[in-house]
């Protein structure tokens, strides 16, 4: 699929659906013209059988055309944080965007690996300086990149977004959590996943987060539901956790690149353990199960992997 850049950081291309529409409209136009041209061809009215054939052709033209592989085309969304007055370029093209939070949406892409080179040209009293990052993505990915200085970035690697309770309930069902399980939530936010697991299934749960504010929220949630004996909340860097013993269920709502960074730890999970990721893939490993959950905020995809699958067995 060919495309090019245009001013204002818009993609200029004819999307598959648009191309199909244009072809149908063209056929309709030619059919209409044909009906009028041959209606009185040779001074005689067109026979009924010929009109019937033309009408059938017209109906066939109006049936929406399906472009092969169109269902497999997905977009990539990038969320990029830069200093307020920075100039942002993606693949060498100025996005002409403003503010500290910029967004980029790709055109529909076929399956495959794609790499975007992102540059921020940041004003400085000593002269402009450039910060560059490269991100590898797959169609359907959402990634967040922060090009600000370390002191300007928030503590967590990903902006906190609460998981809708419908999704929490669905992911625990997908994992087939029981009273015998031990659930670890990596990046627990306000603790709703471990709290729900303890309250509904009676299993031991632990939540880990690096943001002190989220730890406070989680502890308040634990106390509010009276599950202090079952739930433990800890301020920890999730990339330092030893997953080789302890958890039988691990839940994630991170980003594709963070999931992949966790993969060496996840591969050490004990046999029979399950990993659930909200919305995002883990590398290019095909999940053992996948469901979609409809909520007021949209559709959330849930993916499940068995520990053996993550180890390639």
The 10s digit of each residue's pLDDT in 55-85 is 554 445 444 444 445 557 999 999 999 999 9
Distance between CA 191 and CA 185 in Å, rounded?
Answer: 8
Q: Is residue 157 part of a domain?
A: no
Q: Is residue 58 part of a domain?
A: yes
Q: What pairs with residue 267 in β-bridges?
A: none
Q: Is residue 159 part of a domain?
A: no
Both 303 and 187 in one domain: the answer is yes
Q: Is the pLDDT of residue 299 over 70?
A: yes
Q: 214-257: per-residue pLDDT in tens?
A: 999 999 999 999 999 999 999 999 999 999 999 999 999 999 99
Predicted model pTM: 0.76
Q: 209-226: per-residue pLDDT in tens?
A: 999 999 999 999 999 999
Distance between CA 118 and CA 89 in Å, rounded?
Answer: 6
Residue 156 confidence (pLDDT): 77
User: In the listed set 152, 183, 203, which residue is the last one of a domain according to the structure?
Assistant: 152
Q: Is the pLDDT of residue 134 over 60?
A: yes
Query: The domain containing residue 177 runs over which residues?
Result: 165-310
Both 91 and 48 in one domain: the answer is no
Q: Is the pLDDT of residue 27 over 80?
A: no
Q: Which residue, 289, 2, 5, 14, is CA-closest to 174?
A: 289
Both 230 and 306 in one domain: the answer is yes
* Core vs surface per residue 239-268: b (16+ CB within 10 A) or e: eebebeeebbbbbbbbbbbbbbebeebbee
Distance between CA 203 and CA 231 in Å, rounded?
Answer: 9
Both 170 and 306 in one domain: the answer is yes
User: In the listed set 48, 68, 88, which residue is the last one of a domain according to the structure?
Assistant: 68
List the structure tokens of 298: 């949209």
Q: 101-127: per-residue pLDDT in tens?
A: 999 999 999 999 999 999 999 999 999
């Amino acid at each position: 699929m060919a495309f090019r850049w245009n001013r204002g950081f818009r993609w200029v291309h004819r999307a598959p659906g648009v191309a199909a529409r244009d072809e149908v409209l063209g056929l309709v136009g030619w059919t209409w013209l044909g009906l009028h041209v041959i209606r009185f061809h040779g001074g005689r009215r067109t026979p009924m059988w010929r009109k019937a054939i033309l009408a059938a052709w017209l109906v066939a033209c109006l049936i929406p055309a399906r472009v092969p592989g169109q269902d497999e085309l997905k977009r990539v969304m990038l969320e990029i944080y830069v200093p307020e007055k920075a100039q942002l370029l993606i693949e060498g093209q100025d996005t002409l965007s403003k503010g500290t939070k910029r967004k980029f949406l790709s055109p529909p892409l076929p399956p495959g690996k794609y790499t975007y080179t992102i540059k921020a040209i940041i004003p400085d009293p000593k002269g402009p300086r450039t910060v560059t990052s490269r991100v590898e993505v797959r169609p359907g990915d959402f990634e967040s990149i922060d090009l600000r200085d370390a002191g300007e970035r928030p503590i967590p690697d990903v902006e906190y977004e609460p998981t809708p309770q419908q999704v929490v309930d669905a992911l625990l069902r997908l994992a087939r959590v029981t009273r015998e399980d031990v659930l670890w939530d990596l990046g627990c936010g306000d603790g709703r996943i471990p709290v729900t697991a303890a309250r509904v299934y009676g299993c031991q749960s632990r939540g880990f987060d690096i943001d002190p504010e989220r730890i406070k929220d989680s502890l308040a949630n634990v106390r509010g539901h009276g599950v202090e004996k079952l739930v433990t909340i800890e301020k920890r860097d999730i990339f330092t956790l030893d997953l080789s013993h302890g958890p039988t269920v691990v839940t994630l709502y991170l980003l594709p690149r963070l999931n992949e960074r966790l993969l060496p730890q996840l591969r050490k999970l004990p046999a029979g353990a399950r990993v659930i990721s909200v919305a995002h893939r883990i590398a290019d490993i095909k999940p053992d199960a996948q469901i979609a959950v409809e909520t007021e905020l949209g559709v959330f995809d849930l993916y499940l992997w068995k520990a053996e699958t993550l180890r390639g067995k």
